[in-house]
């Protein structure tokens, strides 16, 4: 029954050529392109996390975290990202993301992001300096815009600092909400206005009522009559001063005149005490 | 979506002006072809996915180090095939000839069990038969040693010319022709040995 016929070479060639027609099962997986672009840094992926102000999208690439936005609508987030950064973006699964992304969840809950990489390529060097300085403000503390300006060596650029923080592409993880006005009024907040800024700071343990009460009396700093060190009121060292040793101060100049030196933790003035009076 | 050489020239021009945007276009145009090529080489969907991804990443890394002159002289299509081939060779060597062990009998046995005089419903029946043929061919191709498989695929499925192939493999045209010939001869032998009549004679 089995007929032994020979199969010529040209027949083999013809048969192989039948494989030229692509088959359905030979289609590349739809995510292949995204992964390639992600791996070479031409596309970002994003993950969804819960945060103190509700769910957020966190966009990231091989350089680090590039953006954070409140998660409302994935497609409009993707469109905004593409318009802002000019890169492709696609949803990542948690198990496909780099290992360091596992710290994001904790960083959002604790407000501390010690080892997370950030991709701030879209920001100017000035903006980057402002954002990295804001990153150093610990949870539970606030600093004035003027402090950030002085610390990055641009003491007159207070308004520019405000603009740079307003353009913070990674709010929450870069805690721009911890930067407030010199009179301790909160100032604006990009992620849902001052209402959210207030809620965030309260959740982090900042005593906003005390700050406002001090500010209404013109008090900007607290000194200790025992150590003769003065601090920003939210500094942990200021909070440890017993009420009877607490000396309200209105400016570094006043503090210096009364023989107080600036705290080395919260740096209300440069350590030398010779710096410009940035409280004006 | 096969790409004409006009498009390739446009892509090369774009690369000179904006490498990053260009590369996204390259991936868009070539992912289907390179993936199919990797699939024919490896015989595994997952493996093909890895090979294609690695190849594109290598291509991008290489492109960022190339001078304008090098980019202008790039034969993009065969250059990309070459990268896929290198990645595939490395990965398949590590896998120790795993895909070569696929047995043709397995593929044949299914169709043999089906009753020969099944009610004929032209459309789907014919399509299933065609798929069976292609599956058998794919398996036969995978039994060839890689050195023959790669040239048979590049020449007869991907349609590269012998000069292109010679440059890609860095071998004389004569050598490449001989390899393709031997590859086809082996393939024929595999098919004959397995009495793959339904494939050979329709």
- Residue window 120-139, chain B: list those with CB within 8 Å of chain A: 131, 133-134, 137-138
User: What pLDDT is recorded for position A23?
Assistant: 63
Q: Which domains does chain B have, with CATH numbers?
A: 5-94 (1.10.1740.10), 102-200 (1.10.10.10)
Contact call for residues B141 and A19 (beta carbons, < 8 A): yes
Contact call for residues A70 and A54 (beta carbons, < 8 A): yes
User: What pLDDT is recorded for position B199?
Assistant: 54
Mean pLDDT of chain A: 88
User: What pLDDT is recorded for position B97?
Assistant: 53
Which of A21, A32, A88, A89 should we substitute to test contact with B (largest number of B Cβ atoms within 10 Å)?
Answer: A32
pLDDT tens, residue by residue, A52-80: 888 999 999 988 999 999 988 899 999 99
Q: Which residues does A78 contact at the CB level (< 8 Å), separation at least 6?
A: A46, A89, A90
Q: Please say whether the structural domain A123-206 has been given the CATH code 3.20.20.80.
A: no
Q: Buried b vs exposed e over A139-174: b needs ≥16 C-beta within 10 Å?
A: ebbbbbbbbbbbbbeebebbebbbebbeebbbbbbb
User: What pLDDT is recorded for position A29?
Assistant: 85
pLDDT tens, residue by residue, A246-261: 999 999 999 999 999 9
List the CATH code of the domain at A32-110. Answer: 3.30.160.70
β-pairing, A64-70 with A43-51?
Answer: unpaired
Q: Give the ipTM.
A: 0.75
User: Which positions in chain B touch A2 (Cβ < 8 Å)?
Assistant: 195, 197
Q: How many CB atoms lie within 10 A of CB B132?
A: 17
User: What pLDDT is recorded for position B201?
Assistant: 52
User: What pLDDT is recorded for position B5?
Assistant: 53
User: What pLDDT is recorded for position A250?
Assistant: 93
B200–A5 C-beta distance less than 8 A: yes
Question: CB-side exposure of A34: number of CA atoms within 13 Å?
Answer: 15
| Smallest CA–CA distance from A38 into chain B, residue | B57
What is the length of chain A?
A: 280
User: What pLDDT is recorded for position B202?
Assistant: 46
- Per-position pLDDT tens, chain B of length 202: 444 555 777 877 777 777 777 888 889 889 999 999 999 999 888 999 999 999 999 999 998 888 888 888 888 889 999 999 999 999 988 765 554 444 444 443 343 333 444 444 557 777 787 778 788 888 889 989 999 999 999 999 999 999 999 999 999 999 999 999 999 999 988 888 775 555 555 4
Which of B157, B160, B185, B189 should we substitute to test contact with A (largest number of A Cβ atoms within 10 Å)?
Answer: B157
Query: Global pTM?
Result: 0.73
A6–B192 C-beta distance less than 8 A: yes
Lowest mean pLDDT among A143-157, A261-275, B46-60: A261-275
**B192 close to A (CB below 8 A):** yes
**H-only helix segments in B66-172:** 68-72, 76-94, 104-113, 122-142, 146-152, 162-169
Which of A123, A120, A121, A211 lies closest to A173, judged by CA?
A: A120
Q: How many CB atoms lie within 10 A of CB A76?
A: 10
pLDDT tens, residue by residue, A80-95: 999 999 888 999 988 8
So where are chain A's domains?
Answer: 32-110, 123-206, 211-280
A23–B156 C-beta distance less than 8 A: no
User: What pLDDT is recorded for position B6?
Assistant: 55
Residue A269 has pLDDT above 70, yes or no: yes
Q: Which of B31, B36, B134 sits opposite A32 (nearest CB)?
A: B31
Stronger pLDDT, B106 or A122, i.e. the higher one: A122
Helix then strand count (H, E) for chain A reads 11, 10
Architecture of domain A211-280: 3-Layer(aba) Sandwich (3.40)
Q: Residue A6: which pLDDT band, with cuts at 50, 70 and 90?
A: low
Active site residue A176: yes
β-pairing, A221-224 with A54-61?
Answer: unpaired
């Amino acid at each position: 029954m089995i007929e032994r016929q020979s199969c010529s070479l040209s027949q083999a060639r013809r048969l192989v050529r039948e494989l030229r027609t692509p088959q359905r099962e030979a289609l590349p997986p739809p995510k292949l392109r995204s992964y390639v672009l992600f791996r070479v840094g031409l596309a970002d992926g994003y993950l969804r996390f819960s945060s103190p102000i509700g769910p957020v999208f966190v966009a990231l690439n091989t350089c680090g975290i590039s953006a954070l936005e409140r998660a409302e609508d994935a497609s409009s987030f993707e469109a905004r990202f593409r318009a802002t950064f000019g890169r492709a973006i696609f949803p990542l699964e948690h198990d496909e993301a780099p290992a360091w992304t596992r710290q994001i969840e904790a960083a959002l809950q604790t407000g501390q992001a010690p080892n997370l990489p950030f991709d701030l390529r879209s920001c100017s060097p000035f903006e980057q300096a402002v954002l990295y300085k804001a990153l150093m403000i610990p949870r539970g503390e606030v600093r004035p815009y003027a402090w950030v300006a002085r610390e990055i060596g641009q003491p007159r650029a207070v308004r520019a600092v405000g603009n740079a923080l307003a353009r913070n592409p990674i709010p929450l993880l870069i805690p721009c909400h911890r930067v407030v006005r010199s009179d301790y009024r909160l100032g604006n907040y990009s992620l849902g206005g001052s209402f959210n800024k207030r809620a965030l700071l309260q959740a982090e343990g900042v005593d906003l009522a005390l700050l406002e009460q001090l500010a209404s009396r013109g008090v900007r700093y607290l000194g200790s009559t025992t150590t003769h060190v003065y601090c920003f009121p939210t500094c942990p060292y200021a909070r440890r001063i017993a009420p009877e040793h607490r000396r309200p101060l209105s400016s570094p100049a006043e503090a210096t005149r009364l023989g107080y030196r600036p705290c080395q933790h919260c740096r209300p003035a440069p350590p030398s005490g010779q710096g410009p009076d940035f409280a004006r | 979506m096969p790409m004409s050489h006009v498009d390739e020239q446009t892509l090369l021009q774009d690369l000179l002006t904006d490498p990053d945007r260009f590369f996204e276009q390259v991936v868009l145009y070539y992912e289907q072809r390179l993936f199919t090529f990797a699939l024919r080489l490896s015989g595994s969907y997952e493996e093909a996915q890895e090979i294609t991804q690695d190849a594109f990443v290598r291509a991008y890394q290489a492109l960022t180090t190339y001078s304008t002159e090098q980019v202008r002289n790039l034969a993009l299509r065969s250059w990309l095939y070459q990268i896929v081939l290198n990645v595939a060779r490395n990965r398949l060597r590590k896998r120790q000839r795993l895909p070569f062990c696929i047995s043709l009998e397995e593929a044949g046995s299914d169709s043999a069990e089906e009753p020969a005089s099944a009610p004929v419903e032209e459309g789907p029946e014919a399509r299933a038969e065609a798929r069976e043929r292609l599956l058998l061919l794919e398996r036969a191709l995978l039994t060839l040693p890689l050195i023959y498989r790669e040239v048979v695929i590049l020449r007869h499925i991907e349609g590269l010319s012998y000069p292109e192939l010679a440059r890609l493999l860095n071998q004389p045209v004569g050598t490449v022709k001989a390899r393709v010939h031997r590859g086809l001869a082996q393939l024929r032998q595999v098919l004959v040995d397995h009495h793959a009549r339904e494939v050979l004679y329709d």
